[in-house]
Structure 1
Amino acid sequence: MDDASIPPGPQARRPVWNDEVFRARTKELGAKTDRERCAVAGISKASLRRWRLGSVSPSLGRLGQVAGRLGVGINDLIREAAA
């Protein structure tokens, strides 16, 4: 049986950064600029930029750190997108 005879499965999905939740929660914590948001979350502006663009997804460990600093769940900081 070759690969051509295998029907395609559901489209793969991958976790991506949920910037809406990030912005809302950091705003609640008093951050108004990206620099302040990053300081509150304990991340660099470069990481935030890459996560927003989708060129890199944050690691599970990093998501846990950010979620802990923001007082939200890890699942709140990610959403699924087509791969």
Structure 2
Amino acid sequence: MHKVEINGVQMKFIRGFFDNFEDDKVKLTVLDDKSRIKIVYSAETELSAADLERHLKSTFKNKSPYGTSLYYTIHVK
């Protein structure tokens, strides 16, 4: 299990995509959403931290209409 921290200013769009996100490689669950510019998820996955970070960035960029226009960071711990 990993913790995924996502930081950004347009969290409404980021959360709309990642809240309760699940695919064949990962399942995300909200852990901490108290901040307006940061959210922390727990991730159930077999991927390494580096692979999970790449997968989430690629998935958001390619499957979200906002993936290429929003500034955000994803850190996996």
Q: TM-score, normalised by structure 2?
A: 0.36
Q: More strand by proportion, 1 or 2?
A: 2
Q: TM-score, normalised by structure 1?
A: 0.34
